[in-house]
Structure 1
């Protein structure tokens, strides 16, 4: 990967799954990684593991629903590393997704919780990090989105609306600061078979999930990590304001 060596990248939601795979990939590419997550115990285990292998990873706890902790996270990153070259915002309220039914069943509390973390929290993270990227003369941001934000589904309207909001934030940042060297893109993962899902899901369900793909296998966290690493690197400098569907060909869009 071109010119990720020595770059300082903040990964939010990096303790497990796609986030952890991305932290690992960035370390392999020589980046210096700040890891933010609510699950600080798991985040520190990952940071210690990669640091012992020669990487540079430091973990901090923060809460995506709390602007104060977002600001404190970014301040800690700046104090430790002295700069910032890129951000991967990979946080969403997955627990809310599990009870996200439809317009009639969802109460206002579920809507407020989902939008506060997924949209407002992302906006506050961008608000905290953008000045530091601009001071650097440019930088790269990647946000995690979902096909739910565009395809239309009979369930998960709060989650879908929040991801549509994330896509809009991406285009706003690219439009406002692109000529200053700021790049902002989103990745839209398909079904990713994490270790937890692999252990919990029976083979029949896995086979059913694979039927809709144009790929011979399920997606893995490393597939998304590879796309994120490219977009954060200088190899991706001509990509801006885009949503990449990294989903094994499950869905297409213009």
Structure 2
């Protein structure tokens, strides 16, 4: 991984959903770039593993167990980060509820409990962390919030309407935050990943389904957590100081072309 060391030197960051996958990769990269990181996850042992890796490299990090759908827990998380590291400059929202994947079915068969659970973490969680982070950022004269959506927000799969809706809602929330606080130095942007190979997606997708994803990517490989982490570093750093309210798509070109292109390629290959 090629980076410019020190891009976040002296900054305080909270990364949610950082016990594994993209969140963990981002927390580790931010620490490598000089940030003091609070690694937040509903699973404290997983957060602690990420923190151990950061500390082994000489970085500064603390684990914190938090359910981002619980307002009191979020308030405690942000207070801990600000108190431990002298303020809060960066908020990265990766937390997502994967426990309802198989139950998130077509709308006619949808469960209100599943719907509410998915939105409470993936969408309301972003709102709550921002609600408590913004006052600290205002006192500091600015900050950077990055919320993670998905290309599924506008290219939904055959099912998972609750997930698609929550990720679409993240776009509206993020643009609202950018509009409300941009003049006061707080930027809010969105990363929309395509298919990223993580422990969670490896459980969710079969090898055959993963191959379908690869067929539809205009790149020689599928995405990796570091691909998203590097995009997050850019959006959190001064390099993106004049970028606000935008969506950075990290999908290997998945959403760049008409959906029939892979079929045309197969027809051409068959002669």
Shared topology, TM-score over 0.5? yes
- 1:184 has 2:188 as partner: yes
Aligned match of 1:111: 115
Match of 2:44 in 1: 40
- Whether 2:18 is the aligned partner of 1:18: answer no
- Deviation, 1:152, is 4.1
SS at match of 1:101: coil
2:179 corresponds to which of 150, 155, 175: 175
- State the Cα RMSD in Å: 1.8
Distance in 2 of aligned mates of 1:195 and 1:115: 22
Aligned partner (choices 145, 167, 171) of residue 163 of structure 1: 167
Q: Deviations over 1:79-115 (max 9, x none)?
A: 1111111100101111223321111111211111112
Q: Which of 129, 132, 135 is the equivalent residue of 1:128?
A: 132
Aligned residue pair count: 253
Counterpart CA distance in 2 for 1:77 and 1:149 is 30
SS of equivalent residue, structure 2 residue 227: helix
User: Structure 2: which 5+ residue stretches go unaligned?
Assistant: 258-271
Q: What is the CA-CA distance between 1:197 and the residue it aligns to?
A: 4.8
The offset of 1:6, in angstroms, is 1.6
**Higher CA-based Rg:** 2
> Any idea what SS the aligned residue of 1:104 has?
helix
Distance 1:120 1:152, change over 3 A: same
TM-score (norm 2): 0.88
TM-score, normalising length from structure 1? 0.94
In the TM superposition, residue 49 of structure 1 has moved relative to its aligned partner by: 2.5
Q: Which runs of 5+ in 1 are unaligned?
A: none
* 1:223 alignment partner in structure 2: 227
Whether the aligned pair in 1 keeps the contact of 2:39 and 2:50 (CA below 8 Å) is: no
Match of 2:266 in 1: none
